Amino acid sequence: MTINQPFQYILKLCLLTTILNGLTINIATAEVQTFGQAGRHGVDGRPGRNGISASEQKIRASQQLQTVDLTGTDGEAGESATSGEHASGCQQPKKAANVCGVKGGNGGNGGDGGNGGKGGNVTLYFDSLSQLKNVVLRNGGGRAGSGGNGGQAGDGCNCTQPRWTVNYCTWAFMAQRLNVANATWTEVERKLFRCSGDAFYDEKENRPKPHPPDANYRYGWKYIGLSQQKTFTCDNGESGNRGRKGADGQPGRYGQVSLVQGNDIPKEQISYSDRISLLSNKTISLLKNNWLEKTGLRSLLGTASDVRDTYRLLQDVAIAVNYTPFIKR
């Protein structure tokens, strides 16, 4: 085509050039594309149930041997989590772009262990300290449940080829006038297309798609040759994160032991009220239950007992008050 050709044909070729821009490959991009299907995350483990606390109980010591078990039950172990899935569909593409494999799934977190149940509180009545040796008492707390294991991490997609080179060849887009005797082929523009770099092979297998002719022109492509080479890379996908181990539960605490010498706990009387006229020369008895914190319980009970060494001992404090009215002289 020469500059003297009709202006309408020049406009037609400009329009055709715009269409061809969509057929070329952009090789300047630095975007990293991922490949594969990311692995799904593992499922968290179920937490263990807490142990059952023992109920409170009253015991009467005697000359007969007796065993009382008020131990709390153990907490359940936490359930282990499932592992994260490996990434799938990891066929590495040979794109004209840098690629990276997708990530594997994270392992689930292990379930927390259950807490041990509490030991039962005990009120132990006795007449003499020697009777306590006949009582084997166990009121420890239940053991803590262990935390479940975290799930394994899934593997990401790995590369089969860490580096590769893509060739780009130049093709000239040509146009020839129709209905003009001995019209020559005129180069409109040049474009880059992906190719092998082997002229014979590219002419046969990698020729760009032909553009259909119109009323005024026929079109074609002319192979120019290898023009550019670009190297691309592949990075392996990361593995997921391993799930954490569940926290162990807390052991149950010992129940409290209260020792009472006698058959019952006296009813407290720490206050008294009446009309003043009825209080004259009257003796008022008050009673306060005083609990002493002591140690050495394990030496008082039977040898197979499992108790906390501290205990409470009831000590009654009785006060007699004689009310005498004050007479002003």
Is the pTM of the predicted complex or chain greater than 0.85? no
If we measure between CA atoms, which residue out of 196, 204, 202, 300 comes closest to residue 258? 300
CA nearest 216: which of 23, 7, 20, 3? 7
Question: Which long-range CB contacts under 8 A does 294-298 form with residues at least 24 apart?
Answer: 297/257
pLDDT in tens, the chain (329 residues): 333 343 333 334 333 433 334 343 444 445 899 999 999 999 999 999 999 999 999 999 999 999 999 999 999 999 999 999 999 999 999 888 999 999 999 999 999 999 999 999 999 999 999 999 999 999 999 999 999 999 999 999 999 999 999 999 999 999 999 988 889 999 999 999 999 989 999 999 999 998 887 888 999 999 999 999 999 999 999 999 999 999 999 999 999 999 999 999 888 776 666 666 566 666 667 778 899 999 999 999 999 999 999 999 998 766 655 555 555 55
> pLDDT tens-digit profile of 98-147?
999 999 999 999 999 999 999 999 999 999 999 999 999 999 999 999 99
CA distance 164 to 166: 7
Domain ranges of the chain: 7-30+160-235, 57-157+239-323
Q: What is the pLDDT of residues 259-269, one digit of tens each?
A: 999 999 888 77
What percent of the chain has a predicted confidence (pLDDT) above 70?
82
Residue in the structure block whose two tokens are 């420890």: 140
CA distance 93 to 161: 10
